A and B are shown apart, each in its own frame.
Chain A
């Protein structure tokens, strides 16, 4: 498949003027390589855009290499990994390790949320593993969107600044 086409962000923009936040961030929105769900991605894109951020939505079933390549190309301020198929912890581990293994993407803030396991069993261990693999935050299902928005708001510097530092 052609990677450029795959990168086409989903053209869903609010007609109303978006609020202009102090800092507009560039968010790379992704999911697990085995996760076919998209409503979560559609919702998050709308939410982030309404709050003045720009979003690149990779769509369903994102292979790790596509994620790493895209992150290298676009240098986002944040990678949001959203998964609801129960394999989020497995897919997320691989995604985080892939991103962290590359020098150029090892410092990009990375958060994960959704239904990450097939049962509530072992949630604590999953969180610990995901954090250890390189996620900066792990959010369980039911976390309010404000958490993501305020995390974005407090990100200390843009990616370019980080790269320069």
Chain B
């Protein structure tokens, strides 16, 4: 038989082949409204190592024939509970079904009493496998008269059989007769109905059928029922009709607990094997709560298949004795079938007459064509029995046992669920048998920004080099944009710039090597930008954040397309809300993490990586006061948010006076949004620099900060990507030796070495220009040789430098660079602004000289070059508590002003806006106030006379610092409350400083639990661990030798993959004895 090339393989043959190989075929129920999601689900199911059948479950509008409602719901973006096959039409359906690949059959499951439209669309899409039945999809589930259903099914069955045959495929129908209402129907009627419907199918042209049975209340009775089903099928179905038996995992009220649900699922797989069913349709751990996710379905499929293999091994070891006897169920089922078939030669007509006369009567079925006289009940032995048989040719096996009450009904309906919940909670963890196929290591990655992506990149690169010993499945979760995260997501203002030159940015852990770009070898941002957008790219400059966002998405695309054997990565756009621990995972023997997502589902993982990036914190008292004040004084506004992209800046009206608190990087974003974003333009000015051409829609911008200056301009980059600075005095070795003696005082012990290092560069660069490179080198060597024990003072270095040539004044203190107006008084705002402009022009001139040729910027760049050494001193408790506090309060902001500044372009824009009167900085030591008398915000500089300005709006442009205690992220809060994570408290010699950052170990960065143990199933990378580590807010790797960004990601990837090697594992939490530093105290 020639099969249409696009059609999935034949279900009957596939199941037969699996049965021949001793494998149970497992199948989910799965239906998504959106074609791409449906397709992804099918691909995932088909991708499992188990023998699976893909399922397209239809939504309930399609089921009742309301295709317009289904389409309307999809258009309106309203969620549907399945795939609206008819609404989507054959073309889309065929494309979706093709996602299962060429080797996995696909079945359409629907529940319709009139499947004609569904089968028509299926046939046109090249699909021939479905299920249902004239009774099983009519009486229990709708109000279509049975006669109409029988007629529709007769026509539809014939159509599907013939049309499929014409298409070169063999149609297959599965009877749903083994379910009926799912509960409280004694097995004999289920078996009879399955056989009768399959006879109906066969009579109407089907040559391949499956007979169903749903797991009930008694395993023994269920085995009997399955035996009866097989026997009657052999007796009654024409020998030419291909057939197999399919078992449904329990269809009634499902256990609420994950363990209980898992137990019931495993029992169904066990039953399938013992009862001789060839296929199993599973339920998931979360069945009781909602429609399961793809991941939960995959978990269920794997668990079922694994249990089936265990049972098969057990049976091989200990052959069963007579458990396959059909007994009572067979007798009853045969009596029912015989009675029905005696009513007419046409099975459809016989079924109609049977229900009319009450020869068939489904207990508790509300359909008007059902007699409603029969009742099922659960006996003391757990078996389902008839308490009322009505007109059926059966004997009631239990006497009338009193009226059915709502309470009794409810108890019976919940019996199986509660029994399994109870048993599972009592059961000790089952001894883990050696798995036949290795269970995958499931990893949850929370945060899809650059940090998360860096881990994915290394996972793929490592797996490509060496496939993991067992499968690894990563679910990457981010509510904004997987790959780019919130800060870099491609949908934001094009005016927001990166802070690092495009040439110095890469997300690949290795350079392009001539081969295709792939994890481990790919272009830098600059290289990619030049090719991706040649018209607008400025590869030598600073890319807009949107461009980096697109680059990150490009990298993600390569990561997802890599298709490395053994590694699956699934991006999920959702917010992780909570996580808790479940029972031991099959894979690792350790409690799994169950992460609940805001879209309602739960992902179950063995390892959890937290890379959630910039925090969103609770407002502090001052901020709350300002917010209340603004709300009580409309139209006054207080705008607060950690990122300008999220601020409602459009609400600031033109001409309004808007104060901006903070003059850091967010300040530049705010200014860009309020000027460029409102149609203003910067044009080249005569005599250099820029001038601003306003649009007229700008507000008046009044920025203020502690220092009264913006960030220092980034020096023009003159260092290649491969450049690595070699320190003379502030060496990693010296710092390591100092740290070995115990916690340090940064200000007195570390900073002098750092300052000396900067002075060596400052003075040395001047010597290079005045005398030559030899003088610079000799000065550096001399400085290193002379000052071995104590750090040299700036004056001492200046004296030493004088010996080599004119070297000028040293830098006497770091803060001087960042606080040029310290202690100054200005007679008027105009005077301050004049000086500010002069100072910034000078800074720009320094920047133009460059970060190698310009003495000042070369010295400033030392802070960036030795960042890793500073980290080696500070991270994991390297400073005393008191020094750590002062390091964060004093050094950190000064270092930020000096070394994290914007490109020259931004400083030039600052000057142009200053000249245009759009920007009116207030002055140093600025204080913002909510003035109750004036009913508005004001700002005033403590160092500038007459500087008070009334504000119509106040924009808070400070970037909130990591502090878990005020973090609004529910996941972080929950982990903190549960004691799984804790803040890093730097404590030493009686002092203690709670940093607010997440306490972790050194590589590979496990969280430290509240009880001091190490949470080895979790990893933390980036900003949440700020303060435990320093300067984690880095969103890109650098080309050339690996920096910390790539090294840290690789360390986590390595640790995760090491866990993918099957080996015995120790306890989850163990005392933190051998930690680097004191993070675990």
Contact = CB atoms under 8 A, between A and B. Distances in A.
B66 interface: yes
Contacts of B409: 42-43, 46
Contacts of A24: none
A6 interface: yes
Contact of A90 (B78, B365, B600): B78
Contacts of A143: none
B372 A10 contact: yes
Interface string A29-65: 0000111101101111011001000000101111000
A68 to B, nearest CB: 16
Contacts of A13: 403
Nearest to A38: B366
A32 to B, nearest CB: 8
A34 B60 contact: yes
A39 B181 contact: yes
A119 B183 contact: no
Contacts of B78: 90
Nearest to A10: B366
Contacts of A87: 60-61, 80-81
A60 B141 contact: yes
A38 B365 contact: yes
Given A41-B366, A120-B600, A36 B79 contact: no
A140 to B, nearest CB: 13
Contacts, number: 114
B404 interface: yes
B372 A33 contact: no
B61 A57 contact: no
**Interface-centre pick from B61, B144, B145, B406 (highest chain A CB count, 10 A):** B406
A59 B366 contact: yes
A34 B58 CA distance: 12
A86 B144 CA distance: 21
B143 A6 contact: yes
B283 to A, nearest CB: 16
A143 to B, nearest CB: 14
Contacts of A6: 143, 368
A36 B141 contact: yes
Does more than half of chain B's interface fall in helix, strand or loop, or is it mixed? loop
B79 A33 contact: no
Contacts of A38: 140-141, 181, 364-366
A15 B403 CA distance: 5
Contact of B291 (A12, A41, A119): A119
Given A12-B404, A60-B142, A86-B81, A39 B600 contact: no
Contacts of A5: 368
A34 B111 CA distance: 11
A11 interface: yes
Contacts of A44: 406
Nearest to A46: B406
Interface residues of B, number: 43
B572 interface: no
B114 interface: no
**Range, interface on chain A:** 35 or more
A47 B406 contact: yes
Nearest to A57: B366
Contacts of A57: 366
A33 B143 CA distance: 10
Contacts of B73: 90
B405 interface: yes
A22 interface: no
B425 interface: no
A15 B401 CA distance: 11
A144 to B, nearest CB: 12
A135 to B, nearest CB: 18
Nearest to B183: A39
Interface in A104-161: 115, 117-121, 145
B625 interface: no
Contact of B600 (A1, A8, A119): A119
Contacts of A34: 60-61, 63-64, 66, 69
A14 interface: yes
Nearest to A15: B403
B892 interface: no
A165 interface: no
A70 interface: no
A13 B66 CA distance: 34
Given A46-B405, A59-B366, A60-B143, A39 B413 contact: yes
Interface string A66-106: 00000000000000000001110010000000000000000
B367 interface: yes
A34 to B, nearest CB: 4
A39 B140 CA distance: 10
A35 B290 contact: no
A46 B365 CA distance: 14
A5 B372 CA distance: 13
Given A43-B410, A87-B81, A120 B290 contact: yes
A16 interface: yes
A47 B78 CA distance: 33
Contacts of A46: 404-406, 409
B599 interface: yes
A43 B184 CA distance: 13
A117 B64 CA distance: 18
B64 A33 contact: yes
A119 B290 contact: yes
A20 B519 CA distance: 75
A118 B290 contact: yes
Contacts of B601: 119
A85 B368 contact: no
A61 B405 contact: no
B403 A61 contact: no
Interface string B60-74: 110110100100010
Nearest to B373: A11
A64 B253 CA distance: 28
Contacts of B79: 86, 117-119
Nearest to B290: A119
Nearest to A115: B290
B538 to A, nearest CB: 42
A90 B64 CA distance: 15
Contacts of A41: 366
Contacts of A1: 143-145, 148, 368
A52 B648 CA distance: 58
B514 interface: no
B835 interface: no
A13 B372 CA distance: 12
B402 interface: yes
B216 to A, nearest CB: 15
A120 B289 CA distance: 9
Contacts of B290: 86, 115, 118-120
6 contacts: A13-B403, A34-B64, A41-B366, A42-B364, A118-B290, A119-B601
- Lowest 8 CB-CB distances: which A-B pairs, in order? A119-B600, A36-B141, A46-B406, A15-B403, A34-B60, A47-B406, A59-B366, A61-B142
Given A8-B368, A61-B143, 10 more contacts: A14-B404, A33-B66, A38-B366, A39-B182, A46-B404, A87-B80, A115-B290, A120-B600, A121-B598, A145-B406
